[in-house]
Structure 1
Amino acid sequence: MKYRILLLITFLVPCFLFAQSDLYQLTGSLLADSPIEENLQYLCDEIGGRVTGSAANERAVDWALAEFEKAGVKAWKDPFPMPVRWLAKSCRLHLKGKDNFQPQVVAKYQSPPGTYQGQLIFVGKGQEEDFQKKAAGIKGNILLVETDLCLDISGLFAEYAAAAATEVLAKKHGAKAIVFMSSRPKKLLYRFITSKATENDMPQLVMAREDAKRCIRMLEGGEKLSARIELEAQTGGAFTAHNVIAEIPGSEKPDEVVIIGAHIDSWALGTGANDNGCNVAMMIDIARQMKKLNIRPKRTIRFALWNGEEQGYFGSWDYTKEHEAELDNHIMMLSVDIGSGAITGFFTNGMGELVDAVDEVLKPVEALGDFTQVNIPLVGTDNFDFMLQGVANLIANQKPARYGPNYHAASDTYDKVDLKTLKVNSAIVAALTLGFANLADDKISWKRQSRSEIQKLFDTHKLEYTMRMFNVWEPWIKGERGRK
């Protein structure tokens, strides 16, 4: 590994010969040996899964704060309200037919605890025509839904969309609960939010793919299966969670801010390695190396370890509310949240003016990748509320690597992280961040968008359905979320 890194550094040297000493030192330091791997291993193996509201989550917050402070970087815990607490305890599904068996299942977020009984009714892929065929038997019963195999990130979004549509139909037809076939093979289980997120009131489960196929064969063969769900969870009302915020003050324009972040929370079936522990470790390491090298950017660089992301981006949403008066001076926001696959460029989220600036600041590290910017808006991570506020926002676009099949799953563990690529990604993100922090005023051609401009962006890219899928459309329309 050290030999490969030395080759990269040697290849990069010519790119930095002209007034790029800070950037050269920073990227070189990030590509060389650093505590990033040790940090990630501690976060994953010693702390583990970090559901917002859990003791492990607060331990992770305290650990991250200590790491920033150990590096000499100013940092603080940033409190914000979470509307509900939901921590899984156990979930069992008992099936009775000619024989009795217990398939492997987990509950989706905010599934209400309790015991639920009914007939298991197979409704195909949960589309309108499937419900019409079984309409007479759905009310008061438990639905089993077939799911396509998930092979990549696009498959994840397709699964979210299909599940959201099924939820609406299940409610309409009076179903008692929904059991979704796992989209992953080898009995791999994972946890999602539902389309109603914190407002969900219907039990929703994910069943091991092989077990679900067994059930389907039995039901399609004419057998009847009665089902009993026993679901236990720790639940409660509103509570306080914490982001971790750190910053390196700007030397010339301290009121102007470049903010980069990754979410520190995760689900707890695995240990939140690719989603998103690896990029938490990245944020800490970039701040650490900047401080060690005494780099003084023109604008303030802020590092955010967001919390409550998995439940609906609550930590980053609260930041945009608390700092609303300052958002005109937030030059750029970046979210890194697609694991440890190689960065191939950045999503500029419908703000075409950003493309040239991103191209320019990446030139010094062009040896690290073939970068292409993608100017489409994404909904699904902590850039979202900055988009709702009209702030220029980016998401790192990454090769899928091991991200999709292990997403939110028991298999999202330290050994799945591409550690070599993580270090290269750190250098790329650092170059982008420092580049924006030092960008000449005449290179900043964009301004914060108005509400009407944001709405036009949503209309142009037909984002309403996706926003409804994550339960964020109505709050936007009602003026409860985003720019007024």
Structure 2
Amino acid sequence: MRRTLSFLAVAFISLNTFSQTRETFVNNIVQEVNANSKLESLAHELVDVIGPRLVGTPQIKQANDWVIKKYAALGIPAANQQYGTWRSWQRGITHIDMIAPRVKTLEGMQLAWSPSTNGKTLTGQTIVIPESVTDSASLVKWLPKARGKFVLISPEPATGIPFATWDEFGFKDNYKRISAIDSTRNAHAQQRLLQTGRSAFFRMLDRSGAFGLLSMYWSRGYGVNKIFSAYTKNIPVVDIALEDYGLLYRLTQSGNTPTISLKADSKELGTAPVYNTIATLKGSTKPEEYIVLSAHLDSWDGATGATDNGTGTILMMEVMRLLKKYYPNPKRTIIAGHWNSEEQGLNGSRAFVADHPEIVKNIQAVFNQDNGTGRISFISGQGFKNASAYFNRWLEPVPDSIRSHIQTTFPGIPGGGGSDHAAFVAASAPAFMLGSNSWNYGTYTWHTNRDTYDKIVFDEVKKNVILVAILAYMASEDPERTPHAFETLPINERTGKPHVVPEVRAPERNGGFD
């Protein structure tokens, strides 16, 4: 009896001590974030000074080294881990002007990995691929007309007004009409690519003697285009803003054919090593078990990658700073993984999973953030067994002003892609996407030419810092291990069968040359 009472007393004291320690930790985190946040300076240095971080470019290596330097100043060990190589390319200045039938400087930029104009300014007229070109045979017959011209390869925009605005202010029949025109034009363009074969289509244009290709990938918001990679090896591909692209298209079609001049500088730099940057707070009592704070460091380079994924990067860096200050001896080892080449297929995180099975098998939790500047408002259990029990336990000390906005879904469905948590989910490691609320992310900043510092809502990111710091602390302190197993998954309505766990996929370790 005495032994039982003694044991219960010790257990009560330990629980009470943990509760007091937890409360102190949460209070310290909240006060530090509100009074001494480093988010704005981190964002300025990463987003404004370093800028876009396309895989293989000098800027992504500069970002890798910057992350190490910032951690070193905090006394946190960090290192670059090479996992492969990539085609190295550096963006230069793009200048494009319409010089007839009137003079106008156009808004445009090379797509990533686009060939340059080799220091020259190319001057020529524009040409539209006619609707009669529907397959390889008709394209081959038309191609001689493209020689010495700039080819407009995207359909004519039906409108420059976002469709949500048409729906809000226009008559319903007008909204339906403009939507139908847009759908028809895009469907025709897609059908031509399908009939020709996407690779064959661009390969033939690339060898046609055209001066360059002009494209327009509107993101359906005012002033935003999505900027991805070029499709050619010989001639430049330039994305043109919707307003200017529509102008060129209409003038070309009306017989007032524009003459434009283009100078597009970029450099091929051969092959460069690519790295993940890993920072570590060593565990004190369970150092072989791991919490991973996950965010990709790379970006597309149409803008500066502020919300995709500068916000995720500075979030995890700030959390590590706070943990180092207020929780310097975590029970489990806490890793911050700053992944490379997420945008080309989760290559950095997939490489980490492949190269570190000893870590992956002992992961307690992965917390990944990668969808904009908004406060975290949705968390799925990703199908993991008992996720509801332990995640709700970890959320318990989160201030209600933050926790009340979070919707959780358990058991959830395993993520098959989209962001780096999926690389860990496929390997049966409990990994969770911390989904942010919208702030029109999909339209205005996701992979666009407007993903810049001014789109960051720092008050929202501060809330995310508090949340992730508490989750990391609670996962580290939890006396129980999280199971690396899945619940019986719900039925996939499309197939009528249960959802399945995605297969582990190998990373691309020598990319960018296709």
Range class of TM-score, shorter chain: 0.7 to 0.9
Distance 1:214 1:463, change over 3 A: farther
Contact 1:343 1:399 in 2 (8 A): yes
Structural mapping, 1:8-87, within 5 Å: 20-21=22-23, 23-34=25-36, 35-87=38-90
Q: In structure 2, what residue type is equivalent to 1:363?
A: E
Give, in whole Å, the separation in 1 of the partners of 2:234 and 2:43: 35
TM-score, with normalisation over the residues of structure 1? 0.74
Shift of 1:326: 3.3
Structural mapping, 1:359-398, within 5 Å: 359-365=392-398, 367=400, 368=402, 369-374=404-409, 375-376=412-413, 377=415, 379-398=417-436
Distance 1:348 1:166, change over 3 A: farther
Distance 1:294 1:172, change over 3 A: closer
Give, in whole Å, the separation in 1 of the partners of 2:425 and 2:236: 32
Structural mapping, 1:137-176, within 5 Å: 140=143, 141=146, 142=151, 143-145=153-155, 169-173=197-201, 174-176=204-206
Per-residue CA deviation, residues 8-29 of structure 1 (Å, 9 max, x unaligned), is: xxxxxxxx96662364245324
Structure 2 residue aligned with 1:10:
none
Aligned equivalent of 2:348, options 315, 320, 326: 315
Give, in whole Å, the separation in 2 of the partners of 1:92 and 1:46: 22
Structural mapping, 1:200-239, within 5 Å: 204-221=237-254, 231-239=264-272
Q: In structure 1, what residue type is equivalent to 2:43?
A: L
Q: In structure 1, what residue type is equivalent to 2:219?
A: S
Structural mapping, 1:437-476, within 5 Å: 437-441=476-480, 444-447=482-485, 476=505
Distance 1:38 1:123, change over 3 A: farther
Task: Report the number of matched residues.
Answer: 432
Contact 1:181 1:212 in 2 (8 A): no
- The alignment partner of 1:49 has SS state of coil
Give, in whole Å, the separation in 2 of the partners of 1:300 and 1:448: 24
Range with greater deviation from structure 2 (367-376 or 246-255): 367-376
Shift of 1:200: 8.2
Shift of 1:298: 2.6
Structure 2 residue aligned with 1:8:
none
Contact 2:373 2:461 in 1 (8 A): yes
Contact 1:22 1:295 in 2 (8 A): no
Per-residue CA deviation, residues 193-231 of structure 1 (Å, 9 max, x unaligned), is: 47x8xx988864421010122233335546666888764
Range with greater deviation from structure 2 (265-274 or 391-400): 265-274
Structural mapping, 1:214-293, within 5 Å: 214-221=247-254, 231-293=264-326
Shift of 1:74: 2.3
- The alignment partner of 1:84 has SS state of strand
Contact 1:186 1:210 in 2 (8 A): no
Greater C-alpha radius of gyration: 2
Contact 1:193 1:311 in 2 (8 A): no
Structure 2 residue aligned with 1:426:
465
Give, in whole Å, the separation in 1 of the partners of 2:193 and 2:227: 16
Q: In structure 1, what residue type is equivalent to 2:325?
A: K
Shift of 1:410: 4.2
Shift of 1:247: 1.5
Shift of 1:108: 2.3
Give, in whole Å, the separation in 2 of the partners of 1:55 and 1:350: 39
Distance 1:460 1:230, change over 3 A: farther
Distance 1:300 1:132, change over 3 A: same
Aligned equivalent of 2:445, options 392, 406, 423: 406
Shift of 1:302: 0.5
**Quick one: percent identity of the two aligned structures?**
22
Contact 1:105 1:208 in 2 (8 A): yes
Q: In structure 1, what residue type is equivalent to 2:362?
A: N
Contact 2:219 2:448 in 1 (8 A): no
Structure 1 unaligned regions, length at least 5: 1-15, 125-129, 153-157, 450-456, 465-472
Give, in whole Å, the separation in 1 of the partners of 2:508 and 2:389: 30
TM-score, with normalisation over the residues of structure 2? 0.70
Per-residue CA deviation, residues 270-316 of structure 1 (Å, 9 max, x unaligned), is: 33322222332221221111111234333211012223333443332
Contact 2:291 2:334 in 1 (8 A): yes
Give, in whole Å, the separation in 2 of the partners of 1:63 and 1:289: 19
Per-residue CA deviation, residues 215-267 of structure 1 (Å, 9 max, x unaligned), is: 33335546666888764422243311333211112223211111112222334
Give, in whole Å, the separation in 1 of the partners of 2:190 and 2:337: 30
Q: In structure 2, what residue type is equivalent to 1:58?
A: K
Structure 1 residue aligned with 2:178:
none
- The alignment partner of 1:373 has SS state of strand
Give, in whole Å, the separation in 2 of the partners of 1:165 and 1:359: 48
Q: In structure 1, what residue type is equivalent to 2:418?
A: G
Give, in whole Å, the separation in 1 of the partners of 2:384 and 2:280: 26
Q: In structure 1, what residue type is equivalent to 2:420?
A: D
Per-residue CA deviation, residues 48-91 of structure 1 (Å, 9 max, x unaligned), is: 33334444433333332122122222222223323211222244
Contact 1:51 1:87 in 2 (8 A): no
Contact 1:391 1:448 in 2 (8 A): no
Give, in whole Å, the separation in 2 of the partners of 1:145 and 1:393: 41
Per-residue CA deviation, residues 325-375 of structure 1 (Å, 9 max, x unaligned), is: 432112322221122211102244454753443333112215113211353
Give, in whole Å, the separation in 2 of the partners of 1:229 and 1:461: 50
The Cα RMSD (Å) is: 4.2
Structure 2 residue aligned with 1:183:
219
Give, in whole Å, the separation in 1 of the partners of 2:247 and 2:383: 45
Q: In structure 2, what residue type is equivalent to 1:407?
A: W
Shift of 1:406: 2.7
Distance 1:70 1:408, change over 3 A: same
Contact 1:262 1:276 in 2 (8 A): yes
